[in-house]
């Protein structure tokens, strides 16, 4: 039986979290608060990893579902299908009284059925366009390249060569696996419809039997070994540089500590993000100043300010960051759906409570997160003569891999 997870969130600082089990498995997660008569809905679907040689197959399914659902009655322009590293998130907004009918439209689109070759071809073309757009988006390009450097997995958008190999049979098999595997999560944010648990339960199709949980993608990440590996993404003509350091720490089970460390980095002028199990530190630099920017990130990671006063400041900043994510219904829905897809990730309101309760760094945090974590660095820049030599002269930097920036 395929279980269902339902997350509900609304604006508020902080709203009260409510969790209720649903018949057949899963749970209803509500974050109620007063607000406009509008509900944000998220259906989170865990997916298996893209098969070898078909990087981006999950992105093709996202485009295929987006096309199907955009044509569904009542959904219209509010619909978006988002690709997540661990699954798909179907997002739409509706008045509370329309949530059930729209949710039924979503479930109908997910029902098993034949896929036509033209339908798949259109989805592949849309996925290729999305991949090309991601290459022009610094945030997505940096995140995808860092993920690939740390884990060996392709960006969630895939790559053009893998997308070109996707067939109708590939898409049909992948979609069938999504429908059978793991848990489903429906997220509704904003105004909570009356009888939410019952209407969600009534919207579910009969369970699909014979499925197994979606496998967790295998990665090559592990303990730090040897010097830092650096990926240079060559973008000729670029006028600034984006420098990022990713620390892979799968042994850090409690997310509150790393969330505070990320907040401390942000308060020191470093862009920081904790998305278990990766802590990302980033800076923008002028072209030619990449070594200094990387040295700054490496220096901070080796000696972060974990004293009592700094830690209190980090706790306050991390708490405010979580509150910000929960105040807006759309952001809260996205956050809760993402939390539910990430294996072992803590729901944001629970994380907030744990952050507030941290009066000091957890024992072993610095060692696990900053000293033993596997690290990779990525730089988006115009690779000019002498840059590689200057980078490899930095203490701890080893192999430099130059990656062509390809928009084909």
- 215's tokens: 């496998």
8 Å CB contact between 265 and 304:
yes
d(CA 47, CA 179): 9
| Residue 1 or 232, more confident | 232
Most confident residue range from 40-54, 209-223, 296-310: 296-310
What percent of the chain clears pLDDT 70, i.e. is strictly above it? 84
pLDDT of residue 241: 97
Distance from C-alpha of 127 to C-alpha of 143, rounded to nearest angstrom: 18
Q: Token digits for 264?
A: 């401390």
Whether the ω angle into residue 46 lies within 30 degrees of 0, i.e. cis, is no
Q: Token pair of 296, please?
A: 């700054």
- Taking a C-beta distance cutoff of 8 angstroms, is the pair 378, 139 a contact? no
Q: What per-residue confidence (pLDDT) applies to 11?
A: 37
Rounded alpha-carbon distances, angstroms, from residue 31 to 23, 279, 329, 350: 20, 27, 10, 11
Q: What is the pLDDT of residue 72?
A: 64
Domain with CATH 3.30.830.10 in the chain: 4-203
Q: What integer pLDDT is reported at residue 262 of this predicted model?
A: 94
Tell me the mean pLDDT in the region 197-203: 77
Q: Lowest-confidence range among 108-112, 175-179, 297-301, 320-324?
A: 108-112
Q: Does position 224 have pLDDT exceeding 60, yes or no?
A: no
| Paired tokens of 341 | 């897809």
- pTM for the whole thing? 0.83
Q: Give the C-alpha separation, 156 to 84, whole Å.
A: 7
pLDDT digits (tens, 9 = 90+) for 38-82: 988 888 888 888 988 899 999 999 999 888 887 765 565 578 899
In the sheet that 240-248 helps form, which strands lie side by side, from edge to edge? 271-275, 278-286, 240-248, 374-381, 228-234, 397-404
CA distance 297 to 304: 10
The residue-averaged pLDDT of 83-90 equals 90
Q: In what order do the strands lie in the sheet with 80-84?
A: 18-21, 26-30, 4-9, 184-190, 39-46, 87-94, 80-84
Would you say residue 124 has pLDDT above 50?
yes
Task: Locate all alpha helices (DSSP H) within 251-386, ordered by sequence.
Answer: 256-267, 290-302, 308-327, 329-341, 348-356, 365-366
Strands (E), 199-255: 228-234, 240-248
Most confident of the ranges 10-14, 119-123, 363-367, 371-375: 119-123
d(CA 321, CA 72): 36
Would you say 172 and 115 are in contact if contact means Cβ atoms under 8 Å apart?
A: yes
Angstrom distance (rounded) from CA 188 to CA 87:
18
Tokens of 212: 């197994």
The residue written with tokens 């084909």 in the block is: 408
Mean pLDDT is highest, among 11-25, 34-48, 149-163, 306-320, for: 306-320
The residue behind tokens 């699909």 is 208
* Per-residue tokens: 61: 């399914």
The CATH number given to 4-203 is: 3.30.830.10
- The answer to which of 127-136, 164-173, 246-255, 388-397 has the lowest mean pLDDT is 246-255
Q: 3-class SS at 53?
A: coil
**What gap in Å lies between CA 166 and CA 119, rounded to an integer?**
12
Q: Is the model more confident about 78 or about 115? A: 115
Residue 139, SS3 per DSSP: helix
What is residue 216's predicted lDDT score, i.e. its pLDDT?
43
């Amino acid at each position: 039986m395929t279980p269902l997870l339902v997350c509900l969130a609304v604006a508020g600082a902080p709203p009260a979290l409510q969790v209720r089990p649903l018949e057949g498995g899963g749970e209803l997660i509500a974050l109620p608060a007063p607000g406009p008569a509008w509900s944000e809905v998220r259906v989170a679907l865990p997916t298996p990893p893209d098969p070898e040689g078909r990087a981006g197959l999950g992105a093709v399914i996202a485009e295929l579902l987006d096309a199907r659902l955009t044509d569904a009655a009542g959904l219209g322009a509010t619909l978006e299908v988002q690709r997540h590293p661990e699954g798909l998130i179907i997002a739409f907004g509706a008045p509370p009284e329309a949530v059930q009918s729209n949710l039924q439209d979503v479930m109908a689109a997910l029902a098993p059925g034949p896929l036509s070759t033209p339908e798949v071809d259109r989805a592949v073309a849309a996925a290729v366009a999305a991949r090309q757009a991601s290459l022009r988006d610094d945030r997505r390009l940096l995140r995808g390249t860092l993920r690939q450097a740390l884990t060996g997995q392709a960006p969630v958008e895939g790559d053009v060569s893998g997308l070109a190999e996707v067939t109708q049979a590939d898409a049909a098999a992948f979609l069938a696996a999504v429908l059978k595997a793991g848990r489903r999560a429906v997220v509704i944010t904003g105004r909570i419809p009356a009888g939410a648990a019952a209407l969600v339960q009534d919207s579910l199709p009969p369970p699909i039997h014979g499925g197994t949980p979606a496998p967790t993608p295998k990665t090559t990440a592990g303990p730090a070994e040897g010097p830092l590996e650096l990926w240079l993404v060559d973008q000729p003509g670029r006028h600034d540089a984006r420098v990022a350091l990713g620390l892979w720490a799968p042994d850090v089970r409690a997310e509150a500590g790393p969330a505070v460390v990320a907040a401390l980095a942000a308060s020191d002028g470093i862009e920081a993000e904790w998305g278990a199990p990766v802590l990302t530190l980033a800076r923008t630099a002028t072209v030619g100043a990449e070594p200094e920017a990387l040295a700054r990130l490496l220096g901070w990671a080796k000696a972060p300010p974990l004293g009592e006063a700094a830690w209190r400041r980090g706790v306050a900043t991390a708490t405010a960051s979580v509150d910000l994510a929960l105040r807006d219904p759309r952001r809260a829905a996205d956050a809760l759906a993402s939390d539910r897809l990430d294996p072992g990730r803590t729901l944001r309101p629970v994380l907030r409570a744990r952050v507030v309760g941290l009066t000091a760094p957890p024992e072993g945090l610095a060692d696990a997160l900053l000293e033993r974590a596997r690290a990779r660095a990525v730089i988006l820049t115009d690779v000019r003569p002498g840059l590689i030599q200057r980078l490899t002269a930095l203490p701890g930097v080893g192999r430099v891999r130059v990656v062509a920036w390809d928009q084909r």
